[in-house]
Amino acid sequence: TITKEAIKNIDIIIPPIELQNKFAERVEKIEKLKFEIEKSIEIAQNLYDSLISKYFDN
């Protein structure tokens, strides 16, 4: 079992604020890129669907 004393003795290492900020910036950039990629995929899918419809539904 885990005791209160064992938990109190755990060292928690916190990186410097500069490193935390760099990490946050990278995560934000990745999230923006992910959004842009998802948007591009949606546009491409819509274009594909319209072309398929145009050439095969007539």
Q: What is the pLDDT of residues 4-58, one digit of tens each?
A: 999 999 999 999 999 999 999 999 999 999 999 999 999 999 999 999 999 998 6
What is the DSSP secondary structure assignment for residue 20, as one 8-state letter? H
3-state secondary structure (DSSP) of residue 26: helix
pLDDT value of residue 57 = 84
Name the 3-class secondary structure at 54.
Answer: helix
pLDDT of residue 37: 99
pLDDT on residue 38: 99
